[in-house]
Amino acid sequence: MGTGARGRWSWCGVALLASLALSLPAAAAVVEGLSLAALGARASLVVRGRVESSVGAWDQGSRRIQTRTRVQVLEVLGGPASSGGARTDGSIVAVGGVLEVVAPGGVVGNLGQKVPGSPRFVPGEEVLLFLERVASGYTPLGLSLGKFTVRPAGRGGQVAVRELDGLVFQLPDGEIVPPGSPLAPAAEVPLPLPDDLLDAHGR
Amino acid sequence: MAAELSGLTWPRLRRWSPPLPLGLGLAVGLCLTLAALPAGAYRRSATELADIPLWWAETTFSYALDRVGSHDLDDGTDLAAVRLSFATWGEVTCDGEPYRMQIVDGGVVADREAGFDLESDNENLVIFLATSEEWRARDYSSIAIAMTTITHDTTNGRIYDADIEFNDGGFQFAVLPERSPALPRPVGSAQDIQNAATHEIGHVLGLDHSASADATMYSQATAGEVLKRTLADDDREGLCAVQPPESFQPTEGDSGGCSLVASAPGGLRWWAARLLFFRR
C-alpha cells in the first residue's frame, strides 16, 4: 500500500475513532457522593478479589434481571471476617473462599435490563469491592461507586480504578455533580488503601 | 425545492467516484458532521455492551404511577409533579410537527414491582419505595437515591419497558417552590420531584446526559434546583432525534447509514432533511 493510500486510511481511522468516542455511553443513577473514607465506613465488607464468573439471571419471583458475580477472595480488608467474625448467614468470608456479589441489571438471552451506574464485572479481573448486605447477599455500595478494578501502576505498585460513567452524585447540601467534577468521588485510588480507612473496620 | 436541490448537485456527484478509503472517510465524516450539527450536546442512551442506541417502537407511551407516592408528601402534589414532568416532554414539537410518540397518563396502580414480566402486559412505572426495607429487598444499594431500569432487546436496542424508582425511605423528596436566582439556596438535601422526574423521564425516552449546562438532561444540579422542570432546546432536539416525526419515521433497525454514531439512528435522516430544507 502506498503512502497516499495509507494516509487516506489513516484519516478514515481518525474519523471512525472520533465517532466511537462520541458514542461512549453515560447515564443516570443518583447516589450519595461518598468519599473513600465514608465509603469504607459505610461498607459492611471490603475485599480484594478476582472475578471468576459474571452471569445475568432473573431474580427469583421478580421481574428483574440481576448480574451475579462470583469473586474469589484474595484479601479481606474490612468487615466481620477481617476480625474473625461471621456473615449474617453464618458463613465466613475468608481468603480463598468465593463470594457472590449481586448487581442490578444484566442480560439473559437477548433481553437486557440496563440500570445506569450498575457495575460490570469481567472474568479474570482483579477487583476491590466495598460491599453492603442486601436481601440476597452482597452488592457494591453505591453501584459502580463501590467497585474498583485493580491495575498495575508504576514501579511495581497498584492502583484501583472505578468506572463512574452512569452515576451522578448527590452531595450533603443537595447539589448533584457528575463524575469528573472536583466535588465528585475520585475515579482512581492509589493502593494500598490508607490505614485509617482500614482501621474503621477494626484492622 | 427538493427537486431543485437534486438538480443542482446530483450530476457532478455522479460523475466523480472517490477511491474507497477516501469515500468511506467522507461518508463517516458526513455522518459525524450531521450528528454534531443539531446541537452536539444531547446524547442517546445505548445498550451496555454493543452500544446500540435504545429506541421505542411504540407510538404511544403509557406510564403509570405508584398509587402510594412519596411518603414525604400526602397532599397529592408528588404525583401531580410527576404528571407535569411527563406533560413537559409530551408537549415537545419538532419544527411544528409532533414527534413520533404520544405520552399517555395510565393512571395510578397498586403495582410496585419494577422490571419486566415475560408473561403479561407491562406498565412503565414510577415508584416511590417508602421504606429502606423495600429498597434492600430488591438488592439495591442503600446509598442509591433514584434508579432507572430499561428493559430492551440487546440485538437492536428496542425498549420494551422502562421504570423509575425513588428511594423514598432513605432520602427526602419535596415539591419545592419556584425561586429566582436572587433567592438564597435552600438548606437541606431534599430533591424537587418534578425536577428529578423530568430528568429521569428523559432517560426513559432514550436520552442520555447532555453536555449542555442549560439542558434538563445535564448531569449536574444545584441544591433545591427546579430549572430542569422545563426543557431546553437541546432536550427538544434530542427527543426529536430519538423519536422523529412520523414523516421521517425510521424503519426497525435503520441506523440512518451511520451505525457507529450513537447519537442519532433514524434521527439522523430527520436532521439531514431538516438541514437541507428547513434551516436558513
Whether A70 and A53 have beta carbons less than 8 Å apart is answered as yes
Which among B19, B147, B188 has CB closest to A29?
A: B147
pLDDT value of position B102: 93
Question: Distance of CA B200 to CAs A118, A176, B92, B148, Å?
Answer: 16, 14, 16, 7
CA distance B14 to chain A (A): 21
Cα(B43)–Cα(B263) distance, rounded to whole angstroms?
5
Whether A190 and A159 have beta carbons less than 8 Å apart is answered as yes
pLDDT digits (tens, 9 = 90+) for B23-44: 555 555 444 444 444 445 888 8
Whether B19 and A8 have beta carbons less than 8 Å apart is answered as yes
Amino acid (1-letter code) at residue B219 = S
Query: Is B104 a residue whose pLDDT tops 90?
Result: yes
Cα(A36)–Cα(A186) distance, rounded to whole angstroms?
8
Amino acid (1-letter code) at residue B103 = I
The residue with greater pLDDT, B44 or B262, is B44
Asked if A114's CB is within 8 angstroms of B149's CB, the reply is yes
Indicate if the alpha-carbon torsion angle B43, B45, B48, B50 is positive or negative. Answer: negative
Taking each helix axis as running N to C, give the angle between helix B193-204 and helix B233-242, from 0 to 180 degrees, rounded to the nearest 10: 30
Cα(A173)–Cα(B223) distance, rounded to whole angstroms?
6
pLDDT digits (tens, 9 = 90+) for A90-126: 456 889 999 999 999 999 999 999 998 999 999 999 9
Whether B72 and B168 have beta carbons less than 8 Å apart is answered as yes
Question: Distance of CA B59 to CAs A4, B17, B88, B101, Å?
Answer: 49, 40, 17, 4
Asked if A12's CB is within 8 angstroms of B149's CB, the reply is no
Question: Distance of CA A12 to CAs A3, A23, B37, Å?
Answer: 14, 17, 20
Give the mean model confidence (pLDDT) for residues A132-144: 93
Complex ipTM > 0.85: no
Cα(B144)–Cα(B182) distance, rounded to whole angstroms?
31
Whether A63 and B113 have beta carbons less than 8 Å apart is answered as yes
* DSSP of A173-202: TS-EE-TTSTTSPPSEEEESPPHHHHHTTT
Asked if A66's CB is within 8 angstroms of B260's CB, the reply is no
Asked if B144's CB is within 8 angstroms of A31's CB, the reply is yes
Count H helices, E strands: chain A?
A: 3, 13
pTM of the model: 0.76
Asked if B115's CB is within 8 angstroms of A114's CB, the reply is no
Where residue B9 falls among pLDDT bands split at 50, 70, 90?
very low
For an interface test with B, the pick among A6, A23, A34, A68 (most B C-beta atoms closer than 10 Å) comes out as A23
Which among B31, B117, B155 has CB closest to A19?
A: B31
Say which residues have a Cβ less than 8 Å from residue B230's Cβ, sequence separation at least 6: B88, B198, B216
Which among B137, B208, B258 has CB closest to A135?
A: B137
CA-based nearest residue to B75, from B191, B164, B175, B196: B175
Cα(A26)–Cα(B152) distance, rounded to whole angstroms?
17
B190 interaction partners in chain A (CB closer than 8 Å): 174
pLDDT value of position A127: 98
A19 interaction partners in chain B (CB closer than 8 Å): 28, 31-32, 35, 258, 260-261
B203 interaction partners in chain A (CB closer than 8 Å): 27-28, 116
Q: Where are the alpha helices (DSSP H) in chain A?
A: 3-22, 36-42, 195-199
pLDDT value of position B43: 84
Asked if A120's CB is within 8 angstroms of B151's CB, the reply is no
pLDDT digits (tens, 9 = 90+) for B180-214: 555 555 556 688 899 999 999 999 999 988 888 89
CA angle B161/B237/B28 to nearest 5° reads 95
